[in-house]
Structures are given as structure tokens and as C-alpha cells.
Structure 1
């Protein structure tokens, strides 16, 4: 079979040096919709180098997307048609705040291979550290259609209990028509997000938004809405990509406060005010404390 689970799991980790500076951070923030309105002091924290702070989800693209889907497909034992690959989920653990510029070592390996019968799921783990110690750990779940059925470990199948009651906050974020084209400049060059013909081969009417773009938009909404704009309060962030977002749609982001976390559910709406398709589920943002707002 194209995916050799034993070979993938036994392969030596791959390490490489990654670097980033304020321009990379600013481009990423613009790619997830920061800077609207352009002169808003709260937005200038994401766009102006003299007061820049780094949204933790920048880790998913630092050094040109070290934990990305395409890099996982180059690991030993992995062969897959890119048109049959989707990013199934993402988790991120922050060990320290991410600096606006840095040099670090990113070490990646296949941490797990799961047999879902009709698909395989690869867990690509990337650990990043600089001279001061660990910075972050990232797990990307890569879903490969048509590559299951070899009788391997099915892996975890449970999902989180959905939040109960009305959300504490609900916000909407418009996705620009060119959002995917801007976001991909941070390093995810998968043609699924730009080439209409390739998107059709993958089964979509037109190019779709990167799941990690939705991931970043959502975290920014949580930080801005419930964490007083303080990115250093984020300790971890996990999601499962449950649906697709098309550029031009609106994201409805619902948030529930919990001890040490914010639970989030995200839907994509063709028009504001309409019911949307769930796109992020099982999504806790781990924090230190939650500030009560009136």
C-alpha cells in the first residue's frame, strides 16, 4: 500500500532550522483578516511592527509552515495523491510566548498512523525549540482518503461533549474573496486553495479556504473578545476540521467560558444572519484564566 505505517513510525525525526521576523508575522496576521479597521489600536497590535505581538497560531506557518500537510507527505513510508488529502485537525501547545523574530530548530516525525478503513490518518508532530528551550509543539492530523483498510490501529474515535447553554459570546467574521490567496503567501502552497481546476479534481466547486486560516481567524476572535487581546494567555489550542469554508463566506464564532478554557464552535454562512455549516468542532482554547466582561 502507498502508506507503510511501520516504516513511517520507525523513521528518524527530521530537523531543520527555521527563521522568521516581523514581516512574516505581519503577513500572517493580514492573511487571517487582521487590520480591519486599519487604524484601530487593537488591530495595530497585529500589524504595526513597533507594537507587534504574535498570535500563537502563527506557529503553524513559522518557517514556511513546518507542520503543514505537504511536508508530512514527504516523510518516509508516505505516498499519497495530494488531491485525496485533507487537513483533518490541528493541535498546538505553547511552552512560551512566540517572539516577533527568531531562529529555532523544528523537529518533525510521524507520531501515529491510524486506519479508518476508508482513509488513513497521519499525525505529524513538530517540536520547535530555540536556544532558550522549547517554544511550541504542534500536531497536524492529515486525512488521506482511500488509503485505509490494512487492519491497523483505528486510533481515538471519541469527540468532546458539545458545550451546553447559550454561548457567552458570538461574533461574525467576514472572509474576503481573496483571503486564501493572501494566506497562502505564508507558506501553504497547496493548489487546492488557489487553482479552480485542481479544486474540481479534489471534489470542490472552487478553491476552498485553508483550514488553518479558519483556525487563525477563530483564535484571534477568542483573544480579542474574551482574553483582553493578550496573546500570552493562550496555553494550547485544538480543533477538528469538520467542514469547508469558501472565500466570501462569513464565519459565525460561538464561545463558551469554562475553567481554564474557552470552548468554541464555528460555522460558515453564505450570508450573514443565516444558519451555517459547522467547520470547526471539538475546539478548546486552553488559557490561564477567563476575564469576566459585562
Structure 2
């Protein structure tokens, strides 16, 4: 089995229309660990429908086309697929409920060579249906670990953001629930790697791993908390690299460097002292 480059790079995705409610926004927030302290009124704004706010990182689950790489026609070894990088650009504050249209396209596929995998780059625009306003632009890099050497282009991948060479200016520790992946998947990513121990072991993991985008949501929570004072409108963009998997139940420690309106960041899991999100860059209003 090998990647069908022509089919994948030219694939025309149908626009996805999604109506989401405050219940969906609450479910997303709970899935990334918000309101672990249910008495924290700042966090409650994201998990209680009265005068409710939405986390800006929730844009990653809206109008999502699904786990399309599982389809055999693309020739991808889907069990070995991992999320490599993710970017979010917020154009308009995300409402806690509404109807959106998502437009997805694959922009590039890089062949890293036999035994080294392949990189697939895609973008998704999420628009508010009623106004037509662009809410968010999402950029994603998918690492297809089992698909190198298919004969595609071998151009160099973009360089990641470099973190400052000094001690972090601030640190936020946030725990995750043991059942975090089972909650987060209800926001739309049903890859069995995050739920079925048998699939996880066949992919080389000791247990189902947390979705990369759930880890991103925890980092986003840390940024909204520390850099934005729990005002989600202040987070304008973020980009990061997924460097290692997180297991549900681990504590994610976000280290931040603040330079004017740029906050650089990385995340490590406390229990294993391992960097799991790296080269993070956020723009704060």
C-alpha cells in the first residue's frame, strides 16, 4: 500500500455545515480539562451556559471533515498517522453557539523517504454562515509515519518557531482526566487510536493516547489563563509542533516567554518530564 499522491493532492472536499450549541462548547471545554476546579468562576464562563464564552481553540473541531485518511482509496497507513503541527488564526471571536461552514483543502504532501514517513499539509477555513465572516483559519501538518518512499516531492519542510534562550517568564500546570480522550472524542475526532487499547498497541503505544488537539486545547487554556486574563478575544493566533504523545491523566505544564504581543511556549508532561508540545508561538492582543 502506498499513498496515491495525485488523488490526495487533488481531492475536493465537500463544504461542511455544522450547527453547534452551548452544550457542544461546554463539552469541548470539559474535554480539554476546563473547570477541574468547578468553583473557579473564570473557568465556569466556558462550562456554564449563563453569559457563556467559547474557547478560541474550539475552532479546530468545527466543520471538521472527519478522519478521511482512513479511506483505503488514499493508500495511507492510517494506524500510523500522527498530528505533526497545528496553527490557528482567529479572525473573529468565536461565539458559544452558531452555524458555521468549513472549507478544507490539502496544500502539499512531502515525501521524506523510505522509512522516514510523509508530511501532509492542509488548511480549513471556518466561516459564520449567517454573516459569511471568516472566524478562523486552521493549518495542519499530518505525519504519515508508515508512508515514506511513495515517490512524491521531497522538498524541505518549513522551520519551526525558535523559543527564547532564557528561563520561562511564567508557568501554568493543568491536569488532565484519565477519561479525557473519551470525552474529547465526542467533539468529533473518532480515531480509535484514542479509545481502543487494541488499536493503540498495534500502533506502538502502551495505551490510547490523548488527541494532539486536546493537548493543544490544554495549552490554549493555559494561554487564555496566563497571557489573556481569561479574555478569549485576546488570543489572535497560535502555532505549535506536536513532539510526543500525552497519555490521559498526565499533568501538562506550559512554559511561556512573553515578548511584547508574542508569547512563545512549550508544554511538558510532569510525570515523565517530557516535552510534548514544542516551538509554540501565540499572538496576544
Question: Which TM-score applies when normalising by structure 1?
Answer: 0.90
SS at match of 1:14: coil
Q: CA deviation at 1:71?
A: 3.2
Q: Which runs of 5+ in 2 are unaligned?
A: none
SS at match of 1:49: coil
Hey, what does 1:222 align to over in structure 2? 223
| Alpha-carbon contact 2:160-2:241 (below 8 Å) kept | no
Q: Does the alignment pair 1:127 with 2:128?
A: no
- Write the distance in 2 (CA, Å) between the matches of 1:107 and 1:114: 22
Q: Which moved more, 1:120-129 or 1:23-32?
A: 120-129
| Alpha-carbon contact 1:67-1:124 (below 8 Å) kept | no
- Write the distance in 2 (CA, Å) between the matches of 1:32 and 1:230: 17
Question: Which TM-score applies when normalising by structure 2?
Answer: 0.92
Hey, what does 2:140 align to over in structure 1? 140
| Alpha-carbon contact 2:257-2:265 (below 8 Å) kept | yes
| Alpha-carbon contact 1:67-1:140 (below 8 Å) kept | no
Q: Which runs of 5+ in 1 are unaligned?
A: 289-294
Q: CA deviation at 1:67?
A: 5.9
- Write the distance in 2 (CA, Å) between the matches of 1:44 and 1:15: 33
1:36-75 alignment runs, 5 A limit: 36-63=36-63, 66=64, 70-74=67-71
What is the CA RMSD across the aligned residues, in angstroms? 1.8
Point out 4+ residue stretches in structure 1 off by more than 6 angstroms: none
- Write the distance in 1 (CA, Å) between the matches of 2:172 and 2:78: 34
1:90 to 78, 86, 89: 86
Q: CA deviation at 1:269?
A: 2.3
Q: CA deviation at 1:147?
A: 1.3
- Write the distance in 2 (CA, Å) between the matches of 1:184 and 1:27: 10
Hey, what does 2:110 align to over in structure 1? 114
| Alpha-carbon contact 2:109-2:152 (below 8 Å) kept | no
Hey, what does 2:186 align to over in structure 1? 185
- Write the distance in 2 (CA, Å) between the matches of 1:153 and 1:67: 27
SS at match of 1:103: strand
